[in-house]
Structure 1
């Protein structure tokens, strides 16, 4: 990086001002000088290391089209004080329409564990001043991180960001994805808010590069988000909605064949993300989708950011398309002559029957009985319409077969082989370096989630239909997870992950977002009794949670039932938006949840949630 001296810097600014004067003399009204370039999207910083940090802004040119410059020289400064009396570096960054007029500088040569201030200047127009900080080196007594995810512009105000902007104790803000949402205006937003003060642009679904750029532009004009970015460095990784809902390596649930080529759409989404987020550009130039990386917090911890979304994820199990139903063996030897099939429920009878006359039949169950009883009458079975079963009857999933053939398929990946190997080596290096903590910044829940009986506490306006709720509850009763888009849907990969933690790490705290609700788990490998790590998950910034999908009259009761049915779950909040703060010390990590009483109005109150602590070498949680 070149460094301008004071005279060079003044010369650059003067030259830019002179260019503006020339443009004015060529016909532009004089009073347009001050608004020719503006900084409508504020400033931001991110990916701090002990000696460097990314600083970011975007210029908004008022002149476009014929006659507009092909590129702009934007002067940047970074200083030790907010008045810029102690400027450390200053230089020029060229931007253009090719990068959507964004400016992103990797400022190197900084001192560890220091606050810095930065700003940008073009044509005598100054940006807002941003504050950032570098990570510490050596022995560190404590570090505090804020954890956020799932900020849906059309579902509520970003009060969480506003609160974090006020918190001077934070080392950084860790954003675990769904920074934007890709849906069209009519899908997954609050129509009242959208119609009044949270209008969505563009109105359609994000498919092209300009679509993604416009949506980022909308979000980054939000004052609360600008305030958070201007006060703290962000460490970000995407989840699915920065691309499309339930994305995986070769597609997404929200990408249809008539919406173009998925690889092209993914390329557009990745490009816009890298333009608009203060994330360090990829080192592997052959694959700009690589975002997994590590941040060293002195000798205290490694913050290891993972991509559980598109770098190595296979397609999630789709129960609707891949469900394996329970079947009953029938002796059908008499059926050709007009007789009935005979159910073979006795193991000895099954063994003694000619295998050539045995047929496995998917039968419904009478779910009004406890336990549900199979319908075995041959005449009844043969006359049933599988799509219109009588009331009280349902097909039941074959839990054992689903676990064996789908969820535990060893060939299905979540992280991918390359990232798994990188994570294992990162764990080993962290452990060898004597760091007590390995903090995983990743998107989705690792802990198992079964849904309890909720039908007695549902309200009239539940988002999900009765049929879907019945299915979710049935899955829970059979010991099957409902969200196969989380680690629950990749259990073989999860077991490899947990065993790698057990073998290679010291103390892992896994962070998660995605669900829009707060959670705290101990992570226990299958077939073992002791936990190998803990997990803390944040509520969303504004996206609705279980209070929308499983609308209920008593959210506390729902949370209690979730904790009861899920053996290793210690805490759950099912109905509030908010954030998580984790304080890391050599001997323990404490997670503190905070909530916002409403994101539907501009006025709000803060609700302090519980705190849970994990002590070094315990891999367990306790409420404090």
Structure 2
């Protein structure tokens, strides 16, 4: 039985927003020219900023010392690139206990203002980074870049490079899978040696040292460094920051003989907080990352953890298949997937989100989270991989022609009859039975596997007439959905980004490139409320908010296998939703 939310719980949840008291490293007065007792150190991993508020921003770097020891690092924030107009400065000590990372909560800043920042240690000065605080009051527009799923051995980070060339972004929203935990030669590593992108350490990640080493390799990528140094990040984790298909108590990729999962998760999340410019609620709390950001009166962005904090173990179709008949026990499956006790967010996070949605006055409510919320219902034969999409389409077409022939339809053409005659042997009783199976969720790791809690979130937004926009990553493909509740009423829209480098459905389903457009069209036709799909290209998504509409622009690169790339403009696509409409339409 779930524990009721107490007054103490509510007060704690109410504090979880921008402006909550947090640990602040390095607010220690003037900078120092201390030589660190002769220890030489360099800034090899760039710098970064993140979690901007109206009056503060996290700034980050890492020093690489020649020998272990305490390193004093000074920091400066200024309104000009020459640092002649310093606003705040200070120094702090870093060492091996925090993997020589430096994380400063630079407070006392002005809202809606661009700043420059840098670090110094001994005689070394880092490059200068740019960041900006969140605006307050009435504003006209907000532009965000959304990305996820960067697998180092799968290809070059050309998507990060493309984003680093954009000069009008207010923030980068990273929805997880910032790193991957797999060993060398595993997932999507076919060309890693050729590109000199084999992972470090060589083995799968289990220990704190393992995760730290992998983050260090990722942050050595110059394209990622450029983007971090130019635009503040707002991040959440997904599963691969720990292990594939994680939930609160385990993961698909955590197996017998691999040690204690809680210890592995603790190590992974500590490394995440060390290496990402994310603000903790309090020092040592590496588990809670749900939080809100207010962009003036226009956008409230609520970042959620749908992965590690409260998620129940994902359902698995294999557990509902009859081994004798190969059929799906639909009744038992539907009872489990709609169970009112089944949770993805957990009670406390759900209550916090409901409070945030009910009390916000911003024009747009945006949920930044990892997995698809839109209903992705596919024919069961496809969802359970008993038929491919082309096979299902062919059988459905043949069955339709056969039904028309049996009914004596005089409009049947000679070509249709010839087609039926040539492939009639495919319409076996087994094939016809597969065609009759109902539509079921394609991906039980997404919100489709947690249907009741999705209804709670949608009902909360609907009750206040909110302009709801959900953003998602995880699938490595781009999507746009109209979000409807169980009664079929539209409540909001969802925009999902492609991946930085991880392969998508074209990889998993073995779809030939020439068949991609037809497959995309078929999926959009098969899935109710789905308005757009891109199954092939690596890229990102930008969202531009005004008081009248939100525009989503999906932008793609032509390759991730060479550092030289161009934008694949022929595959780019844009959609808009108007305030109050909960509808999607293609944009010019």
Per the TM superposition, whether the score is higher than 0.5 is yes
Aligned mates of 1:474, 1:589 — CA distance in 2: 40
Q: Which of the numbers 332, 338, 355 marks the counterpart of 1:408?
A: 338
Partner of 1:562 in structure 2? 523
**2:548 corresponds to 1:544:** no
Partner of 1:486 in structure 2? 446
Partner of 2:463 in structure 1? 503
Match of 1:510, SS state, is: strand
Paired residues for 1:339-354 under 5 Å: none
**2:415 corresponds to 1:417:** no
Match of 1:402, SS state, is: helix
1:451 shift after superposition:
4.1
Aligned mates of 1:239, 1:3 — CA distance in 2: 31
Contact 1:451–1:476 at 8 Å: present in 2 too? no
Alignment RMSD (CA, Å): 2.1
Change (3 A) 1:568 1:120: same
1:4 shift after superposition:
7.3
1:287 shift after superposition:
4.8
Once the two structures are superposed, residues 292-312 of structure 1 have per-residue CA deviations (whole angstroms, 9 ceiling, x without a partner) of 000000111101100000111
Contact 1:150–1:542 at 8 Å: present in 2 too? yes
Aligned mates of 2:314, 2:519 — CA distance in 1: 26
Change (3 A) 1:474 1:209: farther
1:244 shift after superposition:
0.6
Runs of 4+ in 1 over 6 A off after TM superposition: 1-5
Match of 1:193, SS state, is: coil
Q: Normalization by structure 2: what TM-score?
A: 0.84
Contact 1:428–1:505 at 8 Å: present in 2 too? no
**2:398 corresponds to 1:398:** no
Report which stretch shifted further, 218-227 or 88-97.
88-97
Contact 2:195–2:561 at 8 Å: present in 1 too? no
**Structure of higher CA gyration radius:** 1
Partner of 2:410 in structure 1? none
Paired residues for 1:381-530 under 5 Å: 395-403=326-334, 405-430=335-360, 433=361, 435-451=362-378, 455=388, 457=390, 477-504=437-464, 506-528=466-488, 530=489
Partner of 2:18 in structure 1? none
Q: Normalization by structure 1: what TM-score?
A: 0.79
Contact 2:154–2:191 at 8 Å: present in 1 too? no
Partner of 2:143 in structure 1? 144
Aligned mates of 1:475, 1:523 — CA distance in 2: 26
1:478 shift after superposition:
2.3
1:506 shift after superposition:
1.3
Partner of 1:85 in structure 2? 84
Q: Which of the numbers 576, 579, 582 marks the counterpart of 1:613?
A: 576
Q: Which runs of 5+ in 2 are unaligned?
A: 1-23, 392-429
Match of 1:579, SS state, is: strand
**2:565 corresponds to 1:580:** no
1:508 shift after superposition:
0.8
1:324 shift after superposition:
4.7
Partner of 2:17 in structure 1? none
Contact 1:450–1:562 at 8 Å: present in 2 too? no
Partner of 2:248 in structure 1? 249
1:475 shift after superposition:
9.8
1:505 shift after superposition:
5.5
**2:65 corresponds to 1:61:** yes
Contact 1:413–1:490 at 8 Å: present in 2 too? yes
Contact 2:492–2:583 at 8 Å: present in 1 too? yes
Once the two structures are superposed, residues 259-287 of structure 1 have per-residue CA deviations (whole angstroms, 9 ceiling, x without a partner) of 1111111110110000000000124x685
Once the two structures are superposed, residues 238-261 of structure 1 have per-residue CA deviations (whole angstroms, 9 ceiling, x without a partner) of 000001111001111111131111
Once the two structures are superposed, residues 169-214 of structure 1 have per-residue CA deviations (whole angstroms, 9 ceiling, x without a partner) of 0000000000000011121032322344112100101100000000
Contact 2:358–2:461 at 8 Å: present in 1 too? no
Change (3 A) 1:164 1:477: farther
